[in-house]
Every structure is written in structure tokens, then in C-alpha cells.
Structure 1
Amino acid sequence: MALINTKIKPFAAKAFKQGKFIDVTDADIAGKWAVFFFYPADFTFVCPTELGDVADHYAELQKMGVEVFSVSTDTHFTHKAWHESSDTIVKIQYAMIGDPTGAITRNFEVMREDEGLADRGTFIVDPDGVIQAMEITAEGIGRDASDLVRKIKAAQYVRAHPGEVCPAKWKEGEKTLAPSLELVGKI
């Protein structure tokens, strides 16, 4: 799994977004920051808590110029039914991509082949379509959207400030590092 610093592969899919079925392709993210948020299945347990958490941060992500795409191997029809039946999922405003063939899920290397389901995988993609960060967790471990926001801010900062890096627990406005020979062994 060596996807960091690689360009995402072309894709085309149907999605459910804000009451409509839409077509989504890799061209839709060209020149934009994007998050691909894979999860095992609709109508499950941990998944709605994660998707709801991302929905709670969606306005902030939009202000940061980030588009969000949740992806599961369910269909866009299933996403619509879930959206209409769940108090948590109804608040989602971002695109919910249906990937019933598993093509996108395989492109991001998070397919559980024996089950036909996606692992919990989060991918931050820069405006050039290059994966800058990824997180994959086991079935029972839910992700935290506030940490996702922090990681995107760090990725955006590093892109805008060549020669600087963000240390552990870095938050927007805090001190960064400028790697140099003089810094070796002094941290």
C-alpha cells in the first residue's frame, strides 16, 4: 500500500447528493482539495457515526476549499434510502458515491475482496490529484473528523509554504519547522 504521493486513478460513478443522483468523475476534483472517505456499508453501526461527524464539519471543510466524497460498495439508490431513513445521515450534504463494482474502492486499495466491502479508509487528495495523507482503521475503530480537518490544514499549509513542515499535534497558527542540517539532533 504505497499510495502516498501517487495520483488517483480515473473513475466515474453515480452518487447521491442533496436529494439528487449525480455523476462524479476524477475530473470533478481537478484543481481542488478532496477527501475520499471509504466505509464498509450503509445501514450499519460505526459508519453512520463517522459520516455524521464528517457532516458536522462539512461547512468548515467547504470554507477550506475541500470537497468530500463518501464511498461504499452500496449503490447510490441505497445511499438515498439511508439518507431518507436515518436522523444522522439526513444531515449529509456531501456526495455519497455508490461503488457497487468496487472499482474505486480497489483503486484506493481498500477493498476487502472476500466480503466485497470497503475498509475504513480516508484519503486527502491535493489539487493536483495526488494523495497527501491516508488513514485506514480496523472495522471497530471509528475516525474523528476534527483530526481530519487538522491534517488537511497541515497539508494545505505545507503546500503553500515550501520548505516548512508541521510537527506532531500541529494546529493552525502554531510554529512549524524548517528542516535543515542545523536542526538535526536539536529537536
Structure 2
Amino acid sequence: MKRNTILLILVIGALISGGLYYRYHGEETDERGATKLMQALEHEEQLTKETARLIKRSDDVNERDLAGQTALFYAARHAKDPQAVRNLMAAGADAYITDNEGRTALMNAAQYNESVAVVEELVKNASHVNLQDKAGETALLLAAQNNTADVIKVLLRAKANPDLAGPDGKTPAQELAENKKLTDEEKADYRQAMLVLSILQPQHLE
């Protein structure tokens, strides 16, 4: 009888453990490998209690999806409130992690996120503003192609190098021409600013 009782307890324990693992891990991952935390950050316009709770509960905020991206990448792309980034960093998020394409969370923000506050928070927590991904893109190149003047300004103030050309040989100043979020005046102003910074580059990059 004792042996049967012990076996029963072990079976029940295994079932409970398996169920809890599935509850907290298995069902949190979608077909992209994105956890519930990543999914919450993906749909967040501003910081919510649910996201903060998921960050606090996460066993590993540096867990990666199938593309090699962490929760910080999702916050960098979608969050409008920099507190989401702060909470992730406080929980141990690594801003130096690169995904399968060699990109950082800062690059994600530079390409997709118009929130100056989020970009500033990422810049403040990472000194790799001039890192190039596997294709040769930098945060400044991605911002010059896709983002607003204010985001470009943040990166230039963070000493982003305007002379680093992308895979097509174009510099950030040249990439401005195709950016539909900039007015002609902004394109001219930032092209001129990048030219000046290029001339003053040794001082600019100190």
C-alpha cells in the first residue's frame, strides 16, 4: 500500500509539474517563438500593469525568439513609454545582444519606433551606437531611411558616425532622400548636419 501511495504521489507531482511548466512556458510561446511578455510588448502603446507583471515574473528576460530577438527588441520596436525599457533593463535585459541578423534592440528602435524617449533610453543603456549588423546597417542608417528627424537627432547626439555607409555604399546623408517621414527642409538640414559632423568627426567621436 505504501509503495502504491508513493507511486501515486510521484505521478501526481509529475503531472502538476508538467502542467505548471506548460502554463508558464509552453503556452507563452507562439509560432515565432515569442513569449507572452514579447507579445504583450508588441501590442503596447503605453506601459501597462500586465506588461510590468510579466517582466517581473519572467525567469529570463533575455530569452530569445526564433529570430534571436529578446523582449527588449519588442519593446524597442513597439513601446511608446520608456518605462518598459527601464523595467526590462532593471530585470537584467542585455542591450548588447544581437539577433540572427546581427541587429541590436537599438537598431530595431531606430528603424521602427518614433518614440524619442524610447530611443534615448536605449542609447543611454548601450555604447554600441555605431555597431553594424551582418548586412552593414547601423542604427543611424536605419533611422535615416525610415524614421523621424527627432530620432535621427538623438542618434547624432549620441555620436553616431555619419560616414559609415550601408550595404549599397550609401551614407546616412544619402539615405535621407528616400525617407518619406522627412520634409525636404529636414532632409536638407540633416544632410548639412551630417556633413559638418563628418568634417569634425575626430572631435565628434571622442
TM range (shorter): under 0.3
TM score, norm. by length of structure 1? 0.25
TM score, norm. by length of structure 2? 0.23
Higher RCO (CA 8 Å, separation ≥ 6 residues): 1
The structure whose residues are more often strand, as a share, is 1
